[in-house]
Structure 1
Amino acid sequence: MSVDAAQALEPYVAGMTWGWTGVRGTWATAAASESLRAMSEHGVNWTAIAYAALQDTAQSTEVRFREAPTVTDEEIVWAIREAKALGLEVCLKPVVNVADGTWRAYIGFFDEDVPGEPTWGDWFASYRDFILHAARIAETEGCEMLCIGCEMVRADAREAEWRDLIAAVRAVYSGVVTYNCDKYQENRLAWWDAVDVVTSSGYYPIDRWDAELDRIEKAVAATGKPFFFMEAGCPSRAGSPDRPNDWSLPGAPSGDAQLRYYEAMFAACDARPWVRGFMLWDWPPALYAAEDAAQNDDYCPYGKPAGNFLREAYRLRAGQARMPQQS
């Protein structure tokens, strides 16, 4: 490792995920530039530039990252440079999605290879090409961090394959390497020692933050690695604070519900100095109009009460010295 991961996260990861899902033609536009600028005005000092490549089904073995609808290399480079010009540190976050709508956590194959059936080896070979391609872009463009996977619950158990992939990534990329495990999985990965930073998706019900942080703290302490939430947030929708991971939950738009969740999440994590911050979910490449914010029920806090809270919360926290983390 060529960087000190804990130092790289100082003083605080005041982050936001930008660009999802990375649809070709929606980046490197005037609207995308304005979106990044508006995001930068909310106290952020990091952004995760996130985009998806597709495989056809959860049992397909080809990740088609060079094809539409995935953004082009030129668009990725544009986004990195645009973010850096705004003074932001960048985590490049390539993610695999399933074209038929199946959640990526269900991508999986037989534990042992069976002739004529798709295999983990075939899938990891294609996924490796995808991630190494991103790693080379991240190295060339000076991205401070690379996230090598997101919420791959069934794949998490393939320890040898992940270790091989991480070793290959380190051969071409010199920055901080992390993996974004899914909620409730922080204590289940056997290969945290291979990455520099532990990160997870913190979509925990509003009344569960303290209990889940108790559990996560033990898991993080066992790794000896710094930690932050690579994803966290809540739709601005009635009922969402109780099910923040459910982007399709029925409910009326509610900026107050989102604000209540932000306040509870930040308060709980502020009491845990080992939580180095958030890369909140999420900020789209084309923003809705500010006057329409009250009717928008998605995760983005732009123009909503949570956005005003976030601007001040991030500016305060990023300006404060954090207590040292075990290393």
Structure 2
Amino acid sequence: MTTLTERLGEPVCGMTWGWVGTRGTWATPDAAASMAAMADHAVSWTAIAYAANQATAFSTEIPFDAEPTVTDDEIVWAIREAKRLGMKVVLKPVVNCADGTWRAHIGFFDRDVPNEPSWSDWFASYREFILHSARIAEAEGVEMFCIGCEMVRADGQEVHWRRLVSEVRGVYSGLVTYNCDKYQEGHVTWWDAVDVISSSGYYPIDTWEAHLDRIERVVAASGKPFLFMEVGCPSRTGSAELPNDWALPGAASGHEQLRYYRAMFEACSTRPWVGGFVLWDWPAALYAVEDAAANDDYCPYGKPAGAYLREVYTAMQKQGASA
């Protein structure tokens, strides 16, 4: 099996930028300063991520050109700014529910029923959103395109996903991936359709080895390269045990985030099939560095984990260059 590092000639030392892609927050001096600060942490890849909102988990219309989603011009600006700073890009369009329901719960009857919302209706709208984004990715020379993120209930719609991947390949020539949710790596039945397996690795700090053992079996069986398209931990007490819970009560703690980063990177360092990381996440509107100690979110800027990240990514890039 060819690893992603071997295929790319480098590891993916990445960070997600700009989430959730709110109109008016990209293509500004503050956004440019934020992206430059991210690149200064030895980040060589960025996932430019933005969401389009459907009304509820049972809606079938995704108005991706409507507010609050960023405009095409803003997306193009972010891609070009990242490339100007020397980073490679994963373009990552995502669907959210405006009522706050997590996208993993978007779902319909297994079989289409007349006069009921259906998977066919939903995928027809989702297809337009994803193909529109894929055309931007192709025009701007984006290196990787992510066709979906953490769509747990939708994962089982294999026929629809295969059709969508095929249509994406008709307009986009780069690497195609799908970002499954944590614990779902072994449940996606259509990994052979994409170029790269990716997942959200929000695993409790003391479970990394067991989950890597499990994911390794999936990767070996698929013959596909792998990376963590999302992974990270808030800088908040208790978050190392529940890194996916962004609302977990707790005091701000840079040490907690650093502790998680160390465990994650050390566990993955012995697994050459892990082709890299796209950490969660770096905002378009970055807080002041003097406020970092009080910030309890995922961004490592100005925190102990930020300095550690720069060291790890620099070492990974040197090792990749010498391989």
TM-score, normalisation: structure 1 = 0.96
What SS is found at the alignment partner of 1:294?
helix
Corresponding residue of 1:130: 129
Alpha-carbon deviations, 1:8-48, whole Å to 9, x = none? 53321100000000000000000000000000000111000
Aligned partner letter, 2:78: A
1:166 maps onto 2:165 in alignment: yes
Show structure 1 runs of 5+ residues with no match.
none
Cα distance between partner residues in 1 of 2:99 and 2:160: 25
Runs of 4+ in 1 over 4 A off after TM superposition: 4-8
Q: CA deviation at 1:265?
A: 0.2
Shift of 1:291: 0.2
What corresponds to 2:75 in structure 1? 76
Distance 1:192 1:322 in 2: 29
Number of the residue aligned with 2:109? 110
Q: Which amino acid aligns with 1:260?
A: R
1:222 aligned partner: 221
Identical-residue share of aligned pairs (%): 69
What is the rounded CA distance, in whole Å, between the counterparts of 2:149 and 2:229 in structure 1?
A: 9
List alignment gaps of at least 5 residues for structure 2. none
Distance 2:208 2:274 in 1: 12
Distance 1:194 1:171 in 2: 14
**Do the aligned residues in 2 keep the contact of 1:5 with 1:196 (CA within 8 Å)?**
no
CA–CA separation in structure 1 for the residues paired with 2:5 and 2:265 = 20
Is the 1:26–1:32 contact (alpha carbons within 8 Å) kept by the matching residues of 2? yes
Contact 2:5 2:12 survives alignment (8 Å): no
Contact 1:12 1:322 in 2 (8 A): no
Structure-1 residue corresponding to 2:119: 120
Task: Confirm whether residue 38 of structure 1 aligns to residue 57 of structure 2.
Answer: no
Q: What is residue 264 of structure 1 aligned with on the other side?
A: 263
SS at match of 2:240: helix
Q: Give the aligned partner of residue 156 of structure 1.
A: 155
In the alignment, which residue of structure 2 is the partner of 1:47?
A: 46
Is the contact made by 2:47 and 2:92 (CA closer than 8 Å) also made in structure 1?
Answer: yes
For residue 240 of structure 1, what is the aligned residue in structure 2? 239
Deviations 1:85-133 (A, max 9, x none): 0000000000000000000000000011122110000000000000000
Partner residue, 1:297 = 296
CA drift at 1:83 = 0.2
CA contact (8 A) 2:5 2:11 kept: no
AA in 1 matched with 2:65: R
The alignment status of 1:65 with 2:64, answered yes or no, reads yes
Report if the CA contact (8 A) 1:139-1:173 is conserved: yes
Residues 189-242 of structure 1 show CA distances to partners (whole Å, capped at 9, x for unaligned) of 110000000000000000000000000000011110110100000000000000
Structure 2 counterpart of 1:259, one-letter code: L
Deviation readout 1:160-209 (Å, 9 max, x if unpaired) = 00000000000000000000000000011110000000000000000000
Secondary structure of the corresponding residue to residue 209 of structure 1:
helix
* Deviation at residue 5 of structure 1 after TM alignment: 6.1
Which amino acid letter does the alignment assign opposite residue 126 of structure 2?
Y
Q: Does the CA-based 8 Å contact 1:11-1:319 persist in structure 2?
A: no
In structure 2, the partner of 1:251 is 250
2: distance between equivalents of 1:309 and 1:288?
Answer: 19
